[in-house]
Structure 1
């Protein structure tokens, strides 16, 4: 599936998350950004939709536990299939929210929870979060809406996805642990397990890569500066090329043994360098 006007891959955004986290708002914002929006289509029909004629604009697909044929396994399989879809550039947008905030939202609106229509909202929220937990791990972009109002969520969605209709590239920098495997949908991966590990310093073990003491420990490794300088130079070289290809989102990940110290520090440091360059950057630490 390609853009009929340009021949470039068509952006496809799968919007998901627990009920009450803001999925409907996100779909509406994407529609305002000239996405074609389709909400709550049965999962088994989505592949047929994408196998059809090419689209002339980006596509936003809303999916959550209210879908008629929803199951965690089916949604995971759909994400994997869409990720392999030729001519489509898939982004999984997961809207997360604290369980207490979700409960308050349902209480304030006096809505029944779709997973517990005859029971308490607490039961519905717990069921929903349990079902969606494996999907959360597949997210390319994760937005926590716990402290966001409608206007702030709109601004956050626009910050990420206005790029789909323009030439601006959104960059996501992530950290992860190799023990849990590579994150899904990563474009560039750097292994930093060769750097000195703060874990073996008992004073640093309980801290993470955002702590200045951990940062100082890693910077003392003589291999850090030449490695990081080359990563920054490579990233700066590639970003304009990706933009010219019409790519709207680039994911960069750093991995270490536990995903707590070295990869977190590298992700934070690269994100700051790119932000200082004027790039649109977000950070995600999977293991934190």
Structure 2
């Protein structure tokens, strides 16, 4: 096999054993994935140049197939895979996802989906028929993974552990400052409310400034609770972010909220970002409401404990 051979993973298994989860996980870690692609067309697909929009050149390819795939025939499938393996330009491997019949029945019962081979019969019959059809492929596969006792998260972890690519285990960390008076941002994983800090909005000299201005930063830092609060925020993030990375979470969105989203949340977001960078992380900072117009009524209504400064 050539050292530059393209890696192709053929992913199959029993319906309900986790093929969709495995393919989605492979895609998240940098693989190009195609589901239910007829194996007889694979050679043509492999000869197709990668999209010019991809920045990673020609990534490894994962092809998912099952009993619903057009032209599915176990013996013919094995024959075609052997032909592909004779080509030194490709490194072909096969992953078979297996699962106990009782567990598959439970999964179909919970989701109320019909088994593809038992649309008008009990799922148990379809599971048995599919297992008999796939037995030659299961015996022949390079790798068999039993998902009977694996949750979706467990399966994702196993796939990441065994098929991760170099330099693809990247978690994007975004810190967004915002104002509660203007609504919560979407897709926030971790939320810190900093409305307990003294509010520069109520100082006439600072009202039209933002958390990016030094006088505002100095004002906020004088709050007695500020040093301990920032230290605890940082400790929590330095603990949690690596856990998310190990769990394979592609994006971690951290929200920092104050009342209007122009002073306290902006300053805290900037400070946390700098300190996380010093700790080896590379967060992106967004200030959703930095350009919003200051509004006394919103600040007075939303500020915690009527906090209008020291």
Q: TM-score range by the shorter chain?
A: 0.5 to 0.7
State the match for 1:19 in structure 2: 15
Superposed counterparts of 1:114-263, under 5 Å: 114-162=116-164, 164-165=165-166
Q: Displacement, 1:166?
A: 5.6
Conservation of the 8 A alpha-carbon contact between 1:33 and 1:165: no
2:70 to 68, 71, 81: 68
TM-score, normalised to structure 1, is 0.53
Q: Which ranges in structure 2 are unaligned for 5 or more consecutive residues?
A: 51-56, 169-310
Question: Does the 8 Å contact 1:43/1:74 carry over to 2?
Answer: no
Whole-angstrom distance in 2 between the partners of 1:165 and 1:40: 27
Structure 2: distance between partners of 1:166 and 1:14: 23
Question: What TM-score, normalized by structure 2, do the two folds share?
Answer: 0.49
Deviations 1:121-158 (A, max 9, x none): 11110111001111011221211100000110011011
Q: 1:47 aligns with which of 43, 49, 56?
A: 43
CA deviation digits over 1:193-251, x for unaligned, max 9? Answer: xxxxxxxxxxxxxxxxxxxxxxxxxxxxxxxxxxxxxxxxxxxxxxxxxxxxxxxxxxx
1:103 to 102, 105, 125: 105
Aligned to 1:172: none
Any gaps of 5 or more consecutive residues in structure 1? 168-288
Aligned to 2:140, what secondary structure does the other structure show? coil
CA distance in 2, matches of 1:47, 1:119: 37
Distance 1:78 1:165, change over 3 A: farther
Instruction: Please state how far the C-alpha of 1:109 moved relative to its aligned partner.
Output: 0.8
Q: Matches of 2:7 and 2:167 in 1, distance apart?
A: 12
Q: Over aligned residues, Cα RMSD in angstroms?
A: 2.1
Counterpart secondary structure, 2:91:
strand
Task: For residue 74 of structure 1, report the CA deviation from its aligned partner.
Answer: 2.0
Distance in 2 between the 1:14 and 1:86 partners?
17
Work out which of the two has the higher radius of gyration on C-alpha atoms and give 1 or 2. Answer: 2
Q: How many residues align?
A: 162
Q: 1:153 to 1:161 in 2, by over 3 A?
A: same
1:37 corresponds to 2:33: yes
Mapped to 1, the partners of 2:83 and 2:109 lie a distance apart of: 37
